[in-house]
Structure 1
Amino acid sequence: MSVVELKIDLEAERREILKRYRKLLRTAKPFLKDNDAKLIKKAFTLAADAHKDMRRKTGEPYIYHPIAVAQICVEEIGLGTTAIICALMHDVVEDTTITLDEIEAIFGTKVAKIIDGLTKIAGIFEQGASAQAENFRKLLLTLSEDVRVILIKLADRLHNMRTLSSMSRDKQLKIASETTYLYAPLAHRLGLYAIKTELEDLYLKYAEPKVYKEIAAKLKSTKTRRQQFIREFIRPIEKDLKAEGMSFAVKGRPKSIHSIWNKIKNQGKTFEEIYDLFAIRVILDSTPEHEKAICWRAYSIVTDHYRPNPERLRDWISNPRANGYESLHTTVMSHSGQWVEVQIRSRRMDEIAEKGYAAHWKYKGNQTNVNEGIDAWLNQVREVLEHNDKSAIEFINDFRGHLFQDEVFVFTPKGDLKVLQAGSTALDFAYSIHSQIGSRCLGAKVNGKLVEISHTLKNGDQVEILTSTKQSPREDWLKFVVTTKARANIKEALKEINRQYVTDGRDIVARKLKVLGLELTFDVTNQLRAFFNSRDPNDLFYRFGKGYLQPDEIKRWRIARDSHKKAQEAKAALNGTIEDGKALVKELKRLHGDRPDSDMLLIGEDMDKIDYTLASCCNPIPGDEVFGFVTINEGIKIHKTTCKNARELLSTHGNRVIKAKWTSQLVAFLAGIRIKGTDRVGLVNDVTKIISKEHKVNMRSIIVDTNEGGIFDGKIKLYVHDTEHLNILIAKLKKVKGIFEVIRFEYAD
């Protein structure tokens, strides 16, 4: 490229940067006050200069990204000046020479704290720790001071997902998995439905591209027919709403690709069998004091024309969901015999449903019940964050428990409403009132009847807690509580009670190891924890301290360790010490030399050089898309990218994930297929004949069941060479008379 061409390109980029910046200012104009525009300009100038020599994977100037994040904050979440400033500068501390102290000096403490929360932790983590989990914990800890840090991070993640196509395949899987594991549930919990839905759809686009494209194509091909149906369905409703003098908008929108995929996967249905592919939304203009009545009037008009399903009425106007969501949902039967979901809400409710927490804050004071729901959740999260002495992985798992989607509405003896996670027990209710009431809970009265503390609560229950000063938390309580607050308080109390057992147990283990000529190091502790299947080191020492494990049992570990060590010496000499993905990739490149796939684990080809096994939780076979995972004590495991454990592994231990692919090999792999059909004489014989005689496939097991309706349901485990071999067999079995479904199923050995 010539110097002249380069100047033209740079000038065009400069104009594009200014164009995007001016669009941001135009969008933000209604929010701006006094000196805001000057502060935003100062943040933009600082960020543009700091990132001037940086480019994204797409080749575009890096500054496009912070501008896009700020645009999402304003346009799609509804945040103001402080968030715009932080979004523009959210990467400068992490990626450039600018420090937090400099930012604080220019923009103040509040902005500096938010950017600190958005900045990843630098440094090296100890073995077994997760950089992803540690950074997510740091992000959440800032939530205690300012919820905007989470909202900006969600905007950052949304833009990263929108531009994910430029990343390598392994990075796509890591980022997409982390998104659906942590960020999409978090967006849901903060009421950001539009962002949550888009994040889930983008996850599917990259995690299972074939499935995504198939559903998207079917939605596109049925669009015209669907639009015609919607027009005919809403015509009589619109006529009556106008006759009532109501100001309104009616929209018909398809369900998200991800939600359709969930129904196909969980309900075993085809795309054509899903009846509620779309929802009709009636949005009404109303003042806050009249909106409830006007929504019920609109409901009456809808049900005048279409018969409702009484089991599908959801009144989230009288009892808003804990994240502030308000709407009336009903499912009605159309004249063509198709069920249709109708959502009825006011303009204010619709804005909160789309923009979540930020929109709710805009209406603060008008709807205290909504505010209390979100504020109560944030207070619960802050309580969880206070118990910050656990591992980052355990912390994230506890926090994810707070991102529940279903709720149960119960009342105190005085009639105050409490919103808890669905499945909550009387003990969860007790802890929701106060930690001391939970710790002393002896039983409860539900609707006047005495029940045990493990009793599961239902909508509308009125609960009175019975306490005793002699009562204290027990370990078995953890088996039936579901709320994070209850679990955190019980664990905290048990930790205090069990601390002496842990101390005694550590001393017992250390003395026994000394007799064996060993020290109680971090690695030895980790090996013992894995050998005795303990959750963490404290659990290991507690079991020795309580006498559940005897000191002599440490000899079993020593013998097993020495035996394993001898078996691995040959490979260890070749491989060196492999503790994470980077170390393994370095070793693979050394082994493979100068070839395009040198950074990949070649399944089949590398068996004699690298110690790996196929994960028993998903049993991958050649043709499945896979990745390698470096475990602490069990070598390298090969997982399918669609494995039930993949999202968690990719989300919390990305540093131990490596690329892997199959190489040609004539080896048989175990796979499972499920067959459904109408039972008849000779059906099983026809199936086994195709498998064993025509395709020469060995079966390990076959389980057949026929219900009273004459429906045949069979599960077969058999040995195949790869997914192509399996798909040919499935296609042949589908042609057998009486069979209407043949699918591959995942199983765990």
Structure 2
Amino acid sequence: MPTPNSLEGLIEKAERYLNAEQIQQIQAAFEFGALAHAGQTRKAGGAYIWHPVAVAEILAEIQLDHESLIAAILHDVIEDTPYTKQDIIDRFGERVAEMIDGVTKLGKLAFDTPQEAQAENFRKMMLAMSRDIRVILIKLADRLHNMRTLGVMRPDKQRRIARETLDIYAPIAARLGINSFRIELEDLGFRAMYPLRFSALEKAVKKARGNRKEVVEQITEALQTRLKQEGFKAEVIGREKHLFSLYKKMRKKRLSFEEVLDIFAFRVIVETVDDCYRALGLVHSLYKPLPGKFKDYIAIPKPNGYQSLHTLLFGPYGVHIEVQIRSEVMHKVSEHGIAAHWHYKEANANESNPSPVDVRAQEWVRNLLEIQQSAGNSLDFLENVKIDLFPDVIYVFTPQGEIITLPKNATAVDFAYAVHTNLGHACVGCRIDRQLVPLRSVLESGQTVEIIKSKEIQPNPTWLNFVTTAKARSQIRHFLKNQHSQSATDLGQRLLTKAMRIHNMAYSGLSEELIAKLVQDLNLENWDQLLEEIGLGQRMAGLVSKQIHDNLLGKDDHIISEKGQHQPLAISGTEGLVVNYAQCCHPIPGDEIIGFISTGKGLVIHRHDCKNVKHFQNQPDKWLDVDWDPNSQELFAVEIQVETKNQRGALALIASEIANTKTDIERVRSEDKDETYSVMNFVILVRNRDHLNELLRHLRRIPIIEKAQRVFT
């Protein structure tokens, strides 16, 4: 078994900021972990215990608390050894055990696919992170050490792990502001994912470094001299962009390697926030700034809490100089992010003044919880989190002046959901800088956005075609899923009520005892599940009705209703998402119609003379007599065809005439019939056949129109 002397590297780093008692606990964790992992080895060679020790050492470099280091040393104990969570609690306390449990995979559960297993493990880890942010810090350190030793894996496995790192873990490190982790994860992932590209870019950078060194030294000296003359205590660092950053910039902007390296990057670290702005003035007096290339991330921090002043300058020899100016505290946060300021419930902790990075991290965690609650499954959750880990952001304002951070290309609907879920559900319009615009309008930084809401509005499925944020997408899907379920339940009740009339039974007379027995016999969770399955066509109302009738035979409490088995089901157009109107024949009130129960879709309404109805003749048990509700005021889609003379502005004229009859156009298709005539097909929204006939008569009176008629299949 390894000896405590092997802890030298970890202990040396930990002693810089932890007390003697905490160091002893870390040594005890090492001894326990070494015993638990005895006999286990890594693919890279050596005893397994060296992996968790290396993970702890990575965390010690960013000065994480002693509980985190203990959890890091023991993070694989529950998963890979006979010891249990209770064993950890008994020796090291519940908080350490909860962190270890958070990073432990769900290895004992069966999943249909590896993707589903990965997604569920990720979901479990995110939920644990919502209780204690240190869980994700341990996982990031674990992934970082695994990436450092990835070379022993098969090439295909290297690429899979590298892709996962670039897609999920590096963006999470960026989102939490842990720049040191992000840079190394990205470069290691880049090397494993694209080894040839990495090698070529690495060689090119080394070759160009010699030519650039002199210029970098000269600019660094000029900046330091200017700042020193004005009495600034400042550190100036000439820096290189890391390889993955160069690669992304070359791909995104389609630049050659030489064009990317035209920019020389420098970092100026001063003492205070006030010094940052004063230093900016001095830098601009030394080199002229490029117009429009200044960004103030101190006044408006990035979503991960990052703060700095960024400016692009015209330097000597015609080169561009990128300068970042920040305070010492900002620099520490930019390197270690949430780990630099996260406070724990210890006697010496001061939680009264959370830093910007704390606030941003907590906001992100709360957002993750909302996404998790509305996600359909783990795969949906994982995809939504990927969407949420956006690299480019915009800053917009509420009418009250509050700053809302959104991803690039976000729309007014994304903004509404970012402010509050209920505002998103009820948004009907939007004003950008006091101008009325469509909800799908893409927002830009600096705009003031006001959402117009209505109690009668609900989320529209078409919003999913243009929203970009994970929160908006997940909340819309969650609402529509619930609405679909409720619509199916309501339709199921109507179908069962109608079917029961055939047996002279009334739905309202069903006893709680009978309902409970049916739910048990059919192995369902509740009565609403049965109604939902009937509404979705997964169970036939007639068979359920017969089962109810058979259960009541010979009983005194036989439930009798008025005879009404031949009354058709009334369709009003307000039934929700589980009553669909066939696109082949576009039925509208006034047409003779028939209903067809389609598994998973609910009730599909066709015209009685639709040619597709004949396909259902061999399934009479799925037919349903339906009729229009005479009081319906809803709008229904119908297709018309207009044959018109070819002339400029014909489409605009016809569309205008349709609008004059207070009829909405849903879509239009136009094609030339010959040199003289064109054929235009319009899908329009009408109340009934009378409305349609009035429109057609109006169109036929237009001189350029030769023919206007409804389209039948």
TM-score (norm 2): 0.67
Whole-Å separation in 1 of the counterparts to 2:10 and 2:190: 30
Correspondence for 2:101 among 99, 102, 116 = 116
Is residue 94–residue 119 contact of structure 1 (8 Å, CA) maintained in 2? yes
Deviations 1:445-477 (A, max 9, x none): 332223333232222222332222111111112
- 1:298 Cα deviation after fit: 1.4
Asked if residue 473 in structure 1 is aligned to residue 452 in structure 2, the reply is no
Name the SS of the counterpart of 2:39 in structure 1: coil
Name the SS of the counterpart of 2:342 in structure 1: helix
Is residue 177–residue 336 contact of structure 2 (8 Å, CA) maintained in 1? yes
Is residue 295–residue 310 contact of structure 2 (8 Å, CA) maintained in 1? yes
For residues 142-541 of structure 1, the aligned pairs below 5 Å read: 142-276=128-262, 278-284=264-270, 286=271, 291-361=272-342, 369-388=356-375, 390-500=376-486, 510=538
Provide the residue aligned with 2:87 in structure 1: 102
Deviations 1:2-27 (A, max 9, x none): xxxxxxxx8xxx46x724x1321221
- 1:479 Cα deviation after fit: 2.1
Is residue 360–residue 371 contact of structure 1 (8 Å, CA) maintained in 2? yes
Deviations 1:482-528 (A, max 9, x none): 2222222211211111115667796566579x99xxxxxxxxxxxxx
Q: 2:261 is aligned with what amino acid?
A: Y
Q: 1:120 is aligned with what amino acid?
A: K
Shift in CA distance, 423/553, structure 1 to aligned 2, threshold 3 Å: farther
Whole-Å separation in 2 of the counterparts to 1:311 and 1:230: 24
Correspondence for 1:140 among 116, 119, 126 = 126
Q: 2:80 is aligned with what amino acid?
A: D
Shift in CA distance, 399/219, structure 1 to aligned 2, threshold 3 Å: same
Name the SS of the counterpart of 1:90 in structure 2: coil
Is residue 333–residue 340 contact of structure 2 (8 Å, CA) maintained in 1? yes
Q: 1:304 is aligned with what amino acid?
A: S
Asked if residue 29 in structure 1 is aligned to residue 10 in structure 2, the reply is no
Whole-Å separation in 2 of the counterparts to 1:454 and 1:553: 40
Shift in CA distance, 107/510, structure 1 to aligned 2, threshold 3 Å: same
- 1:397 Cα deviation after fit: 0.3
Deviations 1:240-291 (A, max 9, x none): 111111111111121111122223333333322323565211111x2xxxx3
Deviates more, 1:273-282 or 1:357-366: 357-366
Shift in CA distance, 109/232, structure 1 to aligned 2, threshold 3 Å: same
Higher relative contact order (CA 8 A, sep 6+): 1
Deviations 1:544-575 (A, max 9, x none): 55669x999899xxxxxxxxxxxxxxxxxxxx
Name the SS of the counterpart of 2:326 in structure 1: strand
Shift in CA distance, 455/265, structure 1 to aligned 2, threshold 3 Å: closer
Name the SS of the counterpart of 2:447 in structure 1: coil
- 1:423 Cα deviation after fit: 2.3
Shift in CA distance, 308/55, structure 1 to aligned 2, threshold 3 Å: same
Whole-Å separation in 1 of the counterparts to 2:615 and 2:149: 54
Provide the residue aligned with 1:611 in structure 2: none
Shift in CA distance, 138/293, structure 1 to aligned 2, threshold 3 Å: same
Whole-Å separation in 2 of the counterparts to 1:553 and 1:299: 75
Whole-Å separation in 1 of the counterparts to 2:209 and 2:307: 28
Shift in CA distance, 74/44, structure 1 to aligned 2, threshold 3 Å: same
Is residue 341–residue 355 contact of structure 2 (8 Å, CA) maintained in 1? no
Is residue 178–residue 339 contact of structure 2 (8 Å, CA) maintained in 1? no
Is residue 255–residue 278 contact of structure 1 (8 Å, CA) maintained in 2? no
Deviations 1:395-414 (A, max 9, x none): 10011122112222222222
Q: 1:374 is aligned with what amino acid?
A: A
Provide the residue aligned with 1:84 in structure 2: 69
Whole-Å separation in 2 of the counterparts to 1:452 and 1:552: 43
Give me the identity figure in percent: 37
Shift in CA distance, 240/161, structure 1 to aligned 2, threshold 3 Å: same
Deviations 1:712-743 (A, max 9, x none): xxxxxxxxxxxxxxxxxxxxxxxxxxxxxxxx
Structure 1 stretches lacking a partner, 5+ long: 1-9, 516-539, 556-749
Whole-Å separation in 2 of the counterparts to 1:331 and 1:340: 6
Provide the residue aligned with 2:54 in structure 1: 68
Shift in CA distance, 194/541, structure 1 to aligned 2, threshold 3 Å: farther
Whole-Å separation in 1 of the counterparts to 2:441 and 2:75: 47
Structure 2 stretches lacking a partner, 5+ long: 344-349, 493-531, 544-597, 607-611, 618-713
Deviations 1:167-206 (A, max 9, x none): 1222211211111111111111111122111111111211
Is residue 186–residue 244 contact of structure 2 (8 Å, CA) maintained in 1? yes
Shift in CA distance, 162/553, structure 1 to aligned 2, threshold 3 Å: farther
Is residue 283–residue 346 contact of structure 1 (8 Å, CA) maintained in 2? yes
Whole-Å separation in 1 of the counterparts to 2:50 and 2:307: 35
Whole-Å separation in 2 of the counterparts to 1:249 and 1:63: 40
Is residue 409–residue 417 contact of structure 1 (8 Å, CA) maintained in 2? yes
Is residue 130–residue 393 contact of structure 1 (8 Å, CA) maintained in 2? yes
Name the SS of the counterpart of 2:431 in structure 1: strand
Is residue 364–residue 371 contact of structure 1 (8 Å, CA) maintained in 2? no
Whole-Å separation in 1 of the counterparts to 2:66 and 2:143: 20
TM-score (norm 1): 0.64
Shift in CA distance, 93/350, structure 1 to aligned 2, threshold 3 Å: same
Q: 2:295 is aligned with what amino acid?
A: R
Whole-Å separation in 1 of the counterparts to 2:73 and 2:48: 11
Provide the residue aligned with 1:599 in structure 2: none
Whole-Å separation in 2 of the counterparts to 1:61 and 1:442: 62
Whole-Å separation in 2 of the counterparts to 1:186 and 1:318: 23
